[in-house]
Amino acid sequence: MIKRRLILCLLLNKGIFMNSRNFDLNPVGNIETIEQYLDFNSIDELVILNVERGEKNMDEFCAGVADVATRCFVPIAAGGGVKSIDDFHKLLNSGADKVIINTAAYENPELVTEAARVFGSQCVVASVDVKKNKKGSYEVWICNGSKNTGMDAFEWLKQLENLGAGEIFLTSIDEDGKCQGYDLALVKKASETVNIPIIVSGGVGEFEHLVDGIKEGHASAVSAANIFHFIGFSLTKAKVFLRTSGLNFPHTLWNFNKEFKDCTINVFENREKHKEE
């Protein structure tokens, strides 16, 4: 049975972490700020994306990844602006376990294959940002969601799998930051299109949306960002909610303290009360 994963996504722009809505950015704070209310020990993995607009400073981003890696002892996937094998080396040497590639995968597909050969497919995460067109079809957008390639999203997913990508990080630009839930039709079709894991992103406004991503979208992992910036002990509460939903989530709650025990009881009681109603 596939082990499900809860993934926190952090958006980093020149040392400042951001919230996103339809890929428009607003600042949240630096690492010291978010460390105060994001309980890293409750997640299964962490995604860090360089969302700097224009030409991205890879060295500055790597420094940010390294700073987070010293505070968070879970697997990290990092990317944004990755253009070469050298960029893979830089991120891996900064504490990342996997590297995320987006625009460069489209512009230079051979890079995906070369990276998979050098580092192994498990190290290569292909990020795919999509929007619906006027006909309701899903198209791939690149360059921080600013450029429409016109390419069918599911055709691109299949190509990425064939090129050697080990996972897909799939984001609906339309749903990003709207808190209305994932685009489940997109996620389900993506999961049926490829045989590699799908990490779904974009749209979480309540913990039930995480459950929907797996039960209805058949995603292998669920990712969110904005929601975790506004709820105390949010990551721990989300993980408990997922485990009490009957899903196959591993135990990765290392910070099992009084606050965690309290929130475990509260979340479980709330779920049981909701069932009775």
Domain segments of the chain as ranges: 5-276
pLDDT of residue 243: 82
pLDDT at residue number 277: 41
Query: Are 81 and 56 a contacting pair, CB within 8 Å?
Result: yes
The pLDDT value given to residue 47? 96
Q: What is the average pLDDT value for the chain, to the nearest integer?
A: 86
pLDDT for the residue numbered 229: 73
- The whole-number pLDDT of residue 130 equals 97
d(CA 224, CA 275): 25
> What does residue 8 show for φ and ψ, rounded to 5 degrees?
-90, 130
168-184 pLDDT tens trace: 999 999 999 899 999 99
Q: Is the pLDDT of residue 256 over 50?
A: no
Does residue 260 have a pLDDT over 60? no
Q: What is the pLDDT of residue 41?
A: 76
Report d(CA 21, CA 107) in Å as an integer: 25
Residue 271's pLDDT band, with cuts at 50, 70 and 90, is very low
- Coil, strand, or helix at residue 162? helix
- Percentage above 90 pLDDT, the chain: 63
DSSP code of 44? S
DSSP type of residue 135: T
Entry field: residues in the chain: 277
Q: What is the CATH number of domain 5-276?
A: 3.20.20.70
